[in-house]
Amino acid sequence: MALSKEVYKEFEDVVGEENICDDPAIMPAYFATEFAAVILPKDTAKVQAIVKLCNKHKLKFRAISTGWTGVFPKNTILLDLRRMNRIIEINEKNMYAVVEPYVISAELQAELFKRGLNFCIKGAGSNCSAMLRGHGHLDQTTSADDRNHLAIEWVTPEGEIVRLGSLGSSDEWFCGDGPGPSLRAIISSAVPPGVTPGVFTKAAIKLYHWPGPSKLPVVGKSPRYTLREIPANMMARYYSFPSVEKMWQAELKIGESEIAYELMGFNASMVASNITTCNEEEEEVFRRISQEVQGPGFFVIIAGNSPEDFAYKKKVLEKIVSDADGKSLKSVEDPEIEGILLCQCVRISASIRETFRAGGAFNSIPIMGQRDLTIKWAIGAGEAKKPLIKKGLIVDDGGAFFGWGVEQGHLGKTEIFCRFDPLNPEAKKAVEEWRKEQCARAVNERYFADLLMAKIDESGPSLSNYHLWWRKIVKELDPNSVSPEGGPLV
Ligand SMILES: Cc1cc2nc3c(=O)[nH]c(=O)nc-3n(C[C@H](O)[C@H](O)[C@H](O)COP(=O)(O)OP(=O)(O)OC[C@H]3O[C@@H](n4cnc5c(N)ncnc54)[C@H](O)[C@@H]3O)c2cc1C
């Protein structure tokens, strides 16, 4: 559906002719969706004006920050927020940063490193928006997801500007709650499918201490960046263990002693994809290190605030690993490989390889909660992959799952991939069935399921019927049904 000339003109009057487009040859550059128009607002007032026009003409809209993912119904008005790209404030004393949607994580991190600070960067990569919630490699120290949002500026689906948390009462960004009843819970889901309707225009996010240098000494070329030298008081290692139980016990102790800057339960396949540059090399390295590891394992970064602090953390780590019969993977002790992993996992630039690996497409089920329970679930999901591997329908990555600690092990996440050839319909169908069964098992057997992939009608009854409440809230917020949810991730 093309917009009528009159309606198009109303939108054009808001943003100017150079910031709106309904050209069917240009719009597919965004997504394989037929959009009604793509509009690039410059600030919150313009976003508000566009949303009000969408309500007036009953047109559906969705915003994107970097547009890395998202699902958009046909005829949606797409708000591309790339012109809203300012870091508004870095508050060193109170440790928060205020950003607009198109500030990417790499930009913010570079500014923060200069100030001895860092923040939670989504594992999706530092090319994604710094503003929207996410989880990833740094969660052990930087927590994750909505835990990092403070005050937020939000244009509701009807076009009201809501200033959540302390911003609404004191014009300050330091807190996401109150005064009085907090709206924090309903704005905490800006990742499909639980996408909050409306548009986030600014957010304050929590900052954390960064013990490393103000600038990492990066050398090399993409995708093989490494470090000229390992920064003082930093170390990266990969340890494997004889059993899941021993690995898990070591993770727990590392969390309790708060010594790890990063704890990422990569499997051998992910280590291989992180340190290689093409599929052939990766396959070869994967086969080799699969023989070197003795079982499941994790990648860990230690970062000391002083030589003494570093020596202490290292000593504690060595004791914990040795008590659990862990073994260091020799390849990672090579400073060049150590540098690659430090680079990738602090700057969060590896995900695209970690995720896709040889195979072409993937399906993934992430679940969050108590790490030991999520691991138990993932072992079952890995077993269920074996017949598909045997039939040659999916890539053999050792059936491996991965996961990581959040807030020094207070929480944990576990995720499992299924990699397959997207051009093989039999493989696609088999992977779909595997995902459906394993999502259902996560809910039915009461492991806390991430809702990313589950249908909310299926998971809702196990979680206080939240799906019924969510729909009531959305109906109130969006009476004209102009701001649909984002749909599943892949
Ligand atoms: C290979 C791969 C790996 C990934 N790994 C991780 C991971 O480890 N951790 C993780 O947390 N996520 C991961 N993801 C998911 C990722 O967080 C999201 O894909 C998100 O798209 C990241 O980009 P973004 O934040 O710029 O949001 P976008 O891609 O721009 O948008 C994501 C969704 O949010 C909506 N949206 C965007 N901006 C706004 C706004 N300002 N107001 C309202 N709604 C908005 C969009 O409509 C869309 O539905 C991964 C995705 C891929 C493809």
Output the tens digit of pLDDT for each of the chain's 490 residues: 689 999 999 999 999 999 999 999 999 999 888 999 999 999 999 999 999 999 999 999 999 999 988 888 899 999 999 999 999 999 999 999 999 999 999 999 999 999 999 999 999 899 999 998 888 899 999 998 888 999 999 999 999 999 999 999 899 999 998 777 788 877 765 444 456 889 999 999 999 999 999 999 999 988 889 999 999 999 999 999 999 999 999 999 999 999 999 999 988 888 998 899 888 898 899 999 999 999 999 999 999 999 999 999 999 999 999 999 999 999 999 999 999 999 999 999 877 777 766 666 777 887 777 788 888 888 899 999 999 999 999 988 776 788 888 999 888 888 888 888 888 999 999 999 998 888 888 888 877 655 554 567 777 787 788 788 888 888 999 999 999 876 544 3
Distance from Cα 67 to the centre of ligand 1, integer Å: 7
φ, ψ of residue 435 in degrees (nearest 5): -65, -45
Interatomic CA distance for residues 139 and 35, integer angstroms: 36
Which atom number of ligand 1 is nearest to the Cα of residue 485?
49
Q: Looking at residue 19, what is its pLDDT?
A: 98
Interatomic CA distance for residues 348 and 338, integer angstroms: 15
Pocket of ligand 1 (CB under 6 A): 62-70, 81, 101, 122-124, 128-129, 132, 134-136, 190-192, 195, 199-200, 351-352, 355, 486
**pTM of the full structure:** 0.93
Distance from Cα 253 to the centre of ligand 1, integer Å: 32
Q: Looking at residue 457, what is its pLDDT?
A: 75
Distance from Cα 69 to the centre of ligand 1, integer Å: 5
Distance from Cα 64 to the centre of ligand 1, integer Å: 9
Cβ atoms 313, 233 nearer than 8 A: no
Which residue out of 30, 69, 344 has the highest number of ligand 1 atoms within 8 Å of its CB and is therefore the one to mutate?
Answer: 69
Q: Looking at residue 302, what is its pLDDT?
A: 98
Distance from Cα 125 to the centre of ligand 1, integer Å: 10
With a CB cutoff of 8 Å and minimum separation 6, the contacts of 334 are none
Interatomic CA distance for residues 298 and 47, integer angstroms: 44
Which atom number of ligand 1 is nearest to the Cα of residue 192?
49
Token pair of 267 as six digits: 């499997």
Which residue out of 44, 129, 274 has the highest number of ligand 1 atoms within 8 Å of its CB and is therefore the one to mutate?
Answer: 129
Q: Looking at residue 488, what is its pLDDT?
A: 45
Q: Looking at residue 490, what is its pLDDT?
A: 32
**b or e along 440-463 (b: 16 or more beta carbons within 10 Å of the residue's beta carbon)?**
ebbbeeebbbbbbbbebebbbeee
Q: Where do the domains of the chain lie, and which CATH numbers do they carry? A: 5-80 (3.30.43.10), 87-209 (3.30.465.10), 217-355 (3.30.70.3450), 359-454 (3.30.70)
Q: Which of 211, 192, 1, 201 is nearest to 112 (CA)?
A: 211
